[in-house]
Amino acid sequence: MERKKVVCVIGTRPEAIKMAPVVKALAADASFDVRVLATGQHAAMLDQVLDFFGLSADRNLHIMRERQSLDYITSSVLTGVGEYFDGAGAAAVLVHGDTTTTFAAGLAAFYRGIPIGHVEAGLRSGNMRLPFPEEMNRVLVDKMITWGFAPTKLAAENLRKEGLPEGAISVTGNTVIDALFYTITKRRSPEAGELSVLPDGAPFLLVTAHRRESWGRPLEGICEALVEILDAHPDVWMVVPMHKNPAVRETIGKYLGGRDRAILCDPLDYPDFVWAMNTSKFILSDSGGVQEEASAIKKPVLILRDVTERPEVVEQGSGLLVGVRKEKILAAALRLLEEPGAIAAIEKRCEAQPFGDGTASVKIVNTLKESLLK
């Protein structure tokens, strides 16, 4: 029997992390010939992840350039991925999440009539500009898909409301949990040199902030809160992996550069980032995936956004939606640091996991087999 060729498209580090378990599961099944197409929307950050999971891209378009615009990313991905698809002979294309790579690669597949599977389908914030442009990307790509691999029941319900046929929807859990559990078993201590200055056993907070809608004054408000947290707790450190975008790095450096107990570093490789999540007292982040990962390891996360497309995190109680204003961020952080039992209470609420049990990739492969091998 001829193996079915499935092309998995990735462009950013989060996509690579969440798609890696799917690629490995497809490669382990003799029914499929899996290919990895990287757009290079992120460059070195993406390569770190592929190396850790023992994967490589069959083709990399290397589109990344400094201060790249959304227009440039969209047009470059659409053209480059489309040219690849013309000679690929793909039976299916898998895209992930909500990036510009996801939308443009999905559009290229749609134009060619190639069936599309969307891993992490159905997430919705309800505001087309928050997060921007991610909410638009995921809404539009879900209009083109053959298979919607929804991480939760709520995400599946969103797809139903938007008219995706019931037979096209699968509730799988989120593949980021597959990647997280795999990583925890592979590395027990960090390797990044930047983390070596962290005293053994020192309490620290992990901070990530990079979303496009936060650039400018919102990110400054976040940084002002971070400064006051450090001032209020001389024993607490911060680990702040900074996104490569200059707009993000300049703002964070302005407020936290040169401060004692603030470790500003390049993005950590994924295993070190998992270690930092697991070892921190709690996390402050505007990342979507971090919200799910924090829930899985029972770690409180202050969500540095006004809305989230992962309401399960807030409903469960592992995530607190604190926005981007200094006062609200500061109050929530100080409560976790100073109120006895506050962190333990959140950890207890994380017993039930809304994002799956680490078998999402297997469920996705089984669905593809049932559909493509009829």
Q: Which of 15, 98, 272, 293 is catalytic?
A: 98
Q: Which of 138, 211, 243, 305 is catalytic?
A: 243
Q: Which of 15, 35, 47, 134 is catalytic?
A: 134
Quote the CA–CA distance of 156 and 169 in Å, as a whole number. Answer: 7
Q: Which of 120, 142, 269, 293 is catalytic?
A: 120
Instruction: Examine the residue annotation and report whether 233 is marked as an active-site residue of this protein.
Output: no
Cβ–Cβ under 8 Å, residues 119 and 22: yes
Instruction: Examine the residue annotation and report whether 96 is marked as an active-site residue of this protein.
Output: no
Cβ–Cβ under 8 Å, residues 29 and 35: no
Instruction: Examine the residue annotation and report whether 118 is marked as an active-site residue of this protein.
Output: no
Quote the CA–CA distance of 81 and 60 in Å, as a whole number. Answer: 10
Instruction: Examine the residue annotation and report whether 134 is marked as an active-site residue of this protein.
Output: yes
Instruction: Examine the residue annotation and report whether 157 is marked as an active-site residue of this protein.
Output: no
Residue with tokens 């294309």: 93
Quote the CA–CA distance of 238 and 227 in Å, as a whole number. Answer: 10
Q: Which of 210, 211, 305, 310 is catalytic?
A: 210
Q: How many CB atoms are closer than 10 A to CB 179?
A: 29
Q: Which of 212, 250, 327, 357 is catalytic?
A: 212
**Closest to 90 in 3D by CA, of 33, 173, 149, 166:** 33
Cβ–Cβ under 8 Å, residues 269 and 191: yes
Quote the CA–CA distance of 138 and 140 in Å, as a whole number. Answer: 5
Instruction: Examine the residue annotation and report whether 98 is marked as an active-site residue of this protein.
Output: yes
Give the residue numbers marked as catalytic.
98, 120, 134, 210, 212, 243
